[in-house]
Structure 1
């Protein structure tokens, strides 16, 4: 009997637990369907869905290739700028918070206190941040940048912290035994090992912020969201189709580019 066969026979049998889990999952799925109210599917709703699909198939080509501030290319560029600036600002502000919440860098009481602050920041949805900043700075792209920055801080700090705590502690212990300060440990022992991983995390967050930036436009935080909701409320379906096509193409391009960049960075680590 070879080693593979022996390992296979030693593997525990999960057949009973798997069947029970599937039964519970099925029952939960059936129970969840009771919350669906099919009476809301009215004839007018189906007509609107049909018009949206027709708008995508027959978009307003003049709007799609209009390079003024009312055109799709400019609105998409504004959306990219909001997501990019928000990601950059959030990624920079998240670095000190990440180090302050890493138990391998600072005392545990300090780390737990900062982590509590980051949990509070992550708890608030992006749409709430957008509504709050609109009251302060008014409608526009600057509100979107501030919102993206705060939304990015919570997630980036957590991911940064996870990477920091997974570092080789031997390097930090050697530097500490040599009498290095906390700043010196971060500057010469941590950052050189983290730079590539940090960049990969930032690219991933930018990919997410692109989608959030489009949604934030619905509350007046700049970008393509506001024209999209205005066109839908006015039943201008060809304009809706043009805006959606532009947004879909942009998201696909960003997705492709971010995946290639992250794969190259990870391979180079």
Structure 2
């Protein structure tokens, strides 16, 4: 019996050539990609500017960092959090009906195909483009940033919601149906308990992403801490850039820790 197994194993095709070919393709692609990079493009002036940037970041403007007015880092970080939070909540709420209309097991095929196409279109456009559009429509400020976060959240959140909806245990609904439960009771006690924890976990994860995107949106005038950051960079005030970056790093670390704990509690119970 053992000899038959060994003979069968010897008949198995060797994967060494496959691994070698795959490694060769990856290494070749990497070397070919390096040919498009100009390593000699950085001149002496560029290195001087880089050293000034590093020096400014390592010696931040403490007056700006501990300024509690509406021009200080704390207020700008709070505004950035508000933009990300409002945008995430609106986007999550709007994603619920969109997700149900994208679920093949709930709606007819033409409906879910149309909705999937619309969501793909939403996801294709970068957040900065939406930010520029809303700034033109509503004017610069936090409202444009919140609207942008809401729209971009729909593209990702609704897609993840659909996966959760498709994994619903239909046996629970069938059991409730046999008990004579109404449609509202099946939704309230059969569907929502299966969705709420995963929906909340996805929403928290999206808030974490929106917080970073809200910083970038400030570069186009959509509120938040991004606008002072780009102004400080354009005027070569690198010590102010250092103060803003320190505040961002601390904020993102705190949100990362809190969001991970909340998501683990929601998913694991």
Same fold, TM-score > 0.5, yes or no: yes
C-alpha spacing 1:16/1:144, structure 2 compared with 1 (3 Å): same
Q: Distance in 2 between matches of 1:208 and 1:31?
A: 32
- 1:227 and 1:122 map into 2 onto residues whose CA distance is 28
Give the Cα–Cα distance (whole angstroms) in 2 for the partners of residues 186 and 128 of structure 1.
Answer: 38
Alignment of 1:149-160 (within 5 A): 149-160=150-161
Deviations 1:198-225 (A, max 9, x none): 0000000000001100000000000010
Aligned to 1:197: 198
Moved more, 173-182 or 232-241: 173-182
Work out the CA distance in 2 between the residues paired with 1:184 and 1:116. 32
Alignment of 1:79-90 (within 5 A): 79-90=80-91
107-116 vs 91-100, greater mean Cα deviation: 107-116
CA distance in 1, matches of 2:13, 2:210: 43
CA shift in 2, pair 1:135/1:177, >3 Å: farther
Match of 2:66 in 1: 65
In structure 1, how many angstroms separate the alpha carbons of the residues matched to 2:46 and 2:179? 71
For residues 104 and 173 of structure 1, do their structure 2 counterparts lie closer, same or farther at Cα, with a shift above 3 Å needed? farther
The Cα of 1:53 is off from its aligned counterpart by: 1.1
Matched residue of 1:35: which SS? coil
Name 2:264's counterpart in structure 1: 263
| Structure 1 segment 86-235 matched on structure 2, within 5 A | 86-174=87-175, 186-235=187-236
Displacement after TM superposition at 1:182 (Å): 7.0
What is the TM-score of this pair, normalised by structure 1?
0.91
Identify the residue that residue 240 of structure 1 maps to in structure 2.
Answer: 241
Aligned partner of 2:26 in structure 1 is 25
Structure having the higher Rg: 2
**Change in 2 beyond 3 A, CA 1:209/1:12:** farther
**Kept in 2: contact 1:159–1:201 (CA 8 A):** yes
Shift of 1:100: 0.8
Verify the 8 A CA contact 1:163 1:194 in the aligned structure 2: yes
Provide the TM-score with structure 2 as the length reference: 0.91
Match of 1:52 in 2: 53
> Alignment partner of 2:134: what SS?
helix
Aligned length: 264
The Cα RMSD (Å) is 2.4
- Measure, in 2, the Cα distance between the counterparts of 1:184 and 1:12: 57
Which sections of structure 1, spanning at least 5 residues, go unmatched? none
Q: Which moved more, 1:193-202 or 1:170-179?
A: 170-179
- Gapped regions of structure 2 (runs ≥ 5): none
Question: Could you tell me how far 1:28 is from its partner in structure 2?
Answer: 0.2
Contact 1:105 1:182 in 2 (8 A): no
Deviates more, 1:102-111 or 1:170-179: 170-179
Q: Distance in 2 between matches of 1:242 and 1:30?
A: 38
